[in-house]
Every structure is written in C-alpha cells, then in structure tokens.
Amino acid sequence: MSDTVVVGLDVGGTSTRATALTLTGERLGTGRAGGGNPTSHGAEKAATELLKALRGALADVDPTRVAAGTIGLAGAARLLAEPAGRQAFDQAWRDAGLRCPYDVHGDALVAYASGTASPDGTVLIAGTGAIAARVCALRLDRVADGHGWLLGDAGSGFWLGREAVRRLLADLDSGRAPGPLAVAVLTELLGSAEVSARPRDTVDRLIQAVTRRPPVELARLAPLVVAAALDDEPVAAGLIDEAAAHLAESATRIRPPGAVSPVVLGGGLLTGDTPLATAVRAEVGRRWPDAWVFSAGDGAAAAAWLAALSLPEVTDPAALHALLVPPTA
Amino acid sequence: MSDTVVVGLDVGGTSTRATALTLTGERLGTGRAGGGNPTSHGAEKAATELLKALRGALADVDPTRVAAGTIGLAGAARLLAEPAGRQAFDQAWRDAGLRCPYDVHGDALVAYASGTASPDGTVLIAGTGAIAARVCALRLDRVADGHGWLLGDAGSGFWLGREAVRRLLADLDSGRAPGPLAVAVLTELLGSAEVSARPRDTVDRLIQAVTRRPPVELARLAPLVVAAALDDEPVAAGLIDEAAAHLAESATRIRPPGAVSPVVLGGGLLTGDTPLATAVRAEVGRRWPDAWVFSAGDGAAAAAWLAALSLPEVTDPAALHALLVPPTA
C-alpha cells in the first residue's frame, strides 16, 4: 500500500500548489507555480502552470506509480463545461507522465477537505470574495453568496475595503478628524493623510482614486482593516464584527439551525488566527454552539486525499485524512 | 416692476426645463428640451438643449426685457471650471437673444429653493443617486454623500435596486419561494418569474443579467420597490425604511442636532407623496422635530427666483418666492 502514490493540486488565482503523497502519508514532493485559475487566466495559461507545479511534485517520483489525482480550482464547473479547457488540462496531465485519471473539484470543496474528514458540513470562505457552501458526502451541495462584488461577497476583502473607504468618506463629510484606519486608507489611496482645507476636495480625490481602478481592487485595502483591528482600532474592529455577521448570515442560508456538522473556515481572511476568523468563530459559536470549527489547511494535500478516496484499498477515509492532511487549529 | 422678466433653467440628466416670469409672478413662457447635463452629455449637447428650452420659454417674450437668468445643473462646478463648457453656454445664451448675465448653480441648490425661500436649511435628494447638502445664505455649503454608486448613494434608486436584487438572491440561496417584490425583480431581469430546478442556475442568470449592463442601471428597479411598498409588500417596505434611515444619516453629517431650519426633499424618489418621502419625513421628524419639511417643486421657477435676487428692485425675497414659485406640500 505504501507504494501507491496520489497527487493533489490546489489551483488558486495567484499560485498553484501540487503535492505527491504515499497512502502512508510520506510526502514525496511538492511543486509550486503561478496562478492557474482558468477563469481569470485562460485554460492554456492555467494548464501551463499546472504542468509546472506537477513537475515539481513529481521530480523524484515515477509518475506511473501515481494511482489517482485531484485538481481543486475555482470555476471547476466552467472548466469541465468547455472542451478546450478540459483538453488543455488533459494534455498537461499526460505531459507530466501521469497515466491515471483525475477529478476536478471546486476550490471550496478542497478547502473544506483541508479542514476536516467529515463527509458532511459547511465551508465558509472569505478572500477577495466570499462564499458559503454545504458539503454532502464530500460533494458541494447548495451555495450561498459568491455573488460577486456588485451584488454580494458580503464580509469579503472587497467588502472590508469598500466599507473602510465609506467610513473615511463619512468622516470627511462630517468634518471629523480621520482616525487611525482612516489615516491608513487615505495614505494608501492618496499617498498622504493630509485633508484639504475643503474636505470635499479630498472626498473627490478619494473617489477618483478608487474609480480609476477595477472595483474589485478595493480588496487590497482589507489588510489595512485587519492590521488596524489587531491594534484594537475601533472602526476596524467594528467592520470586522460586521463582516463576520454577514459571513455567518450567508452560512445560515444553507446550514440549518442546530446543525452539529463541522464548519471549515477558508480563504485568506479566515485561514489561521486572523481577527476575522476569531469574529466568525464567535458568530458560528452563537448560532451553532455544538459544531466544531476548523481552519482550512493544506489544499494540495486535501486534494490528494480526495483522490485517494477513489482507490479500492482505501477503507478508512478519516484515518487516511489524519495521515495525509496536516492538522489545523 | 412688472415689466422686468427673469429666466430660470433646470437642467437635468433626462430633461431641461426653462421658464420666463415677470416679478409679479406672471408666467410668460416655458420651454422643454432633452437632457442637458454637461457631465453626462458633453457641453455642446447640453448647450444645444439649453438653447432649445430657452427658445420655448422666450417664444412670446422680447429677450431684451430679461434682466437676469439662472441655470441650475448637476456638475455646475465642473462646467465653470472648463472654458469650453462655459463658452458653449455663453453662446447659447446669446443665440437666444439674451443680453443679461446669468449665474450657474448646482441642481441641489435649485431643488432647495424650489421648496423654500429660507436662506438657510438642508436639502436631501434621492434619485438615481443620493446627496444631502447644507444651504447657507442660499449657497451650497457642506455636502454629504453624493459619492456615486460604488462608494455611496446610500438610500438612492441605485441602492434600492441593488438591495432588491440582493434580497432575491438571498431567497434563492435559502430555497425560499420569492415574494411579490422578488417576483417583480425576477420578471424584470429574466422575463419570467420561474426559478430553475437548481435555484443556483437562476442566481447565475440574474448575476449575468445585472452585470451585462452598467451598474448604475440597477436604479431602474427602484420603481418596482416603490410600487411594491405602496402595496405594503413587507420586503419593499423594509427597504424603503432602510433607505430612509440611510438618507437621514447622510443629512446628520451636515445638519446639527436640534436644527430648526427647513429641510427640502428632492429627486424623483422624494418629490411629492412617495413612500420614500413619507419614510424620510418620519426619520427627519424623529431627529429634528421642530423643522419644517418641504417637497421640491418647480426647479425652473426656483432658478428664476434665484436670478431675481440679484436685481436691485427685489427687496423682499420671501414675498417674491411666494409669487414666483408654486407652493408644494
């Protein structure tokens, strides 16, 4: 059984990670490459990064030993719907020397599986966008939000960035002196925290600075909110609490009251010990007091675990999860 | 004194209106033309519509009798800042046969003056966008919101339309049957109120329908919210109350607690006996119980009144307002 190798890939918008593991949990190799999300980069580019990451993971592995593989990526359904995308991925898979089949899953399912082996539960993700999904028998079932910045993504990095600017604009409208978060946002957007003698001039310059770029780039201000919240800045702390309430509300759309299945928190704003993760854990604890909450971990390892579940020799998925996927908080 | 004629123009995004009045309140002529806002249509187009409206108002008037004129338009400051814009307006003014000077004021000031003769007060406008402004000595002083759809316009037509779609998406996420407002929004956006067997497919189609158009066009859904609120539809009624709270909050940024000066409500969503006007009057009454609240009225007449204030023979502005500007609720 230790001869059997599985491969997992976690394809994100900014990086692609691959890992090759034996069923005893031995890590034979890992690979990294640039962003490979076919939605944002095109299938050809995505397949190129996929192959690069795969070659890194398989540098010291005979690829014919690999028995199964899984690719987790955002927009998985769209990739599978387009023959050209599927063909580009097939080609990369063959070029890496792999002879086994592979599955493609949504990144939300892979994030979920990186936090728990439970077949049923909820995954809540906040990065640039925000989405909640119900997982049943390790398949994505119903989804809430993920509606994009114009209509949704409540509690996401975009949302935090936009709200930080809105609070700053309200301060300027009211003639209040900007607080620490407002000063950080002013400095980031205008290069200086100075407010014009007519504050409306600063308002106009801020609006121009924001509208010059694609709206989704407001998400780049989210780290300022997180940093300020870590310093107990009151406006930032309030925004983090509001964002957590929005995320928990999205989860309630697809998670029944009293549910005890696990909740996995993923995405850049919720993975690990972040202020938003702490606030979301509190919200989840209030609504589902008997549920375990886990942080998403190694997505590539979770994808490898999902791949292994298709093998006949795997009889105890939870035990295998403990071997393959590094534990998280 | 009755020989003296003043001219007023109210230049909006979709229509331009002009009126010629004597100082005794005799209406000598009115003119209408297409949208003339130089921000959205270009100064040349705006000046063409301006001239057309002026010619209508002056059809039966010797233009040399006109002693003063005022143009109210959105983005007035921008027009004055650009020589080409000012020149195009100067040319239209001369082409109409007018020899007197003219002033340009923001549309918010003209809306204010269409509701009251008081030199100091607050104007609150909700149409596609939303803005509140303090008026001091019949000049726009401090402004709140008007930040545009991405960062502000809280409580505006855009805001109502976007929130109506967001409530519908939340229903679909949750598996709830759409209520009357949600059905109206579904029908408007997708041509049918039918929800797919997988509600997520309807979610995706709604998002596509919205994102195919410029975001600001979400404001076209606002009349659905208003109509549903008139039928006491609970979601619509809740959105109207939320919008009113946002608008009142914007006003608090520029209006001190306990202020007793008048508040004028303008814009398509607040002019007259609309559900949002009723809700805003309630909010204003709670915050400023001693203030009169007026509805904006005839902007062109108000512009003519503002023009007349520059004439030496005008000694009682309030009495002249009563003669020139038709009263509103």
B191-242 pLDDT tens trace:
999 999 999 999 999 999 999 999 999 999 999 999 999 999 999 999 999 9
Mean pLDDT lowest for which of A150-154, A174-178, A235-239, B41-45?
B41-45
Interface of B with A in 22-51 (CB under 8 A): none
Give the model's pLDDT for residue A136: 97
To 10 degrees, what angle do helices A157-174 and A199-211 make? 160
pLDDT at A40 over 70: no
Question: Pairing mode, if any, of strands B263-266 and B293-295?
Answer: parallel
Q: Confirm if B317 and B14 have CB atoms less than 8 A apart.
A: no
CA distance A233 to chain B (A): 22
Cβ–Cβ contact B254 with A under 8 A: yes
Give the model's pLDDT for residue A1: 46
pLDDT at A20 over 50: yes
Cβ–Cβ contact B316 with A under 8 A: no
Of A150, A152, A207, the CB nearest to B147: A207
pLDDT digits (tens, 9 = 90+) for A134-148: 999 999 999 999 999
Cβ–Cβ contact A203 with B under 8 A: yes
CB contacts, 8 Å: A152 with chain B: 166, 169
Kindly provide the ipTM of the predicted complex, given to two decimals.
Answer: 0.91
Give the model's pLDDT for residue B12: 83
Cβ–Cβ contact B200 with A under 8 A: yes
pLDDT at A274 over 90: yes
Single out the residue of B158, B301, B133, B134 nearest to residue B243, CA to CA. B158
Percent of chain B with pLDDT over 90: 86
B152: nearest CA partner in chain A: A166
Round to the nearest angstrom and report the end-to-end CA distance of chain B: 29
Q: How would DSSP label each residue in A94-133?
A: HHTT--S-EEEEEHHHHHHHTT---SSEEEEEESSSEEEE
pLDDT at B185 over 50: yes
Give the model's pLDDT for residue A43: 78
Give the model's pLDDT for residue A81: 75
- Look at A17 and B76; give whichever has higher pLDDT: A17
CA distance B143 to chain A (A): 7
Strand partners of residue A103: A70
Cβ–Cβ contact B169 with A under 8 A: yes
Interface test with B, best of A141, A142, A151, A213 (most B CBs within 10 A): A151
CB contacts, 8 Å: B168 with chain A: none
Mean pLDDT of B237-263: 97
Report d(CA A161, CA A206) in Å as an integer: 13
* Mean pLDDT value across chain B: 93
Contact flag A151-B142 (C-beta cutoff 8 Å): no
Which band of pLDDT confidence, cut at 50, 70 and 90, is reported for residue B153?
A: very high
Q: Count residue pairs from A and B with Cβ separation < 8 A.
A: 68
pLDDT at B1 over 60: no
Of A152, A200, A211, the CB nearest to B150: A211
Give the model's pLDDT for residue A298: 95
B212: nearest CA partner in chain A: A150
CB contacts, 8 Å: B215 with chain A: 150
pLDDT digits (tens, 9 = 90+) for B272-320: 889 999 999 999 999 999 999 999 999 999 999 999 999 999 999 999 9
Which band of pLDDT confidence, cut at 50, 70 and 90, is reported for residue B35?
A: confident
B214: nearest CA partner in chain A: A150
pLDDT at B262 over 90: yes
pLDDT at B182 over 50: yes
Of B144, B173, B215, the CB nearest to A173: B144
Residue A314 gets which letter from DSSP? -
Contact flag B207-A142 (C-beta cutoff 8 Å): no
Cβ–Cβ contact A99 with B under 8 A: no
- Look at B233 and A37; give whichever has higher pLDDT: B233
Continuous segment of H or E residues that includes residue A32 = strand A27-34
Mean pLDDT of B21-31: 96
List of domains in chain A? 5-115+297-324 (3.30.420.40), 119-296 (3.30.420.40)
Cβ–Cβ contact B170 with A under 8 A: yes
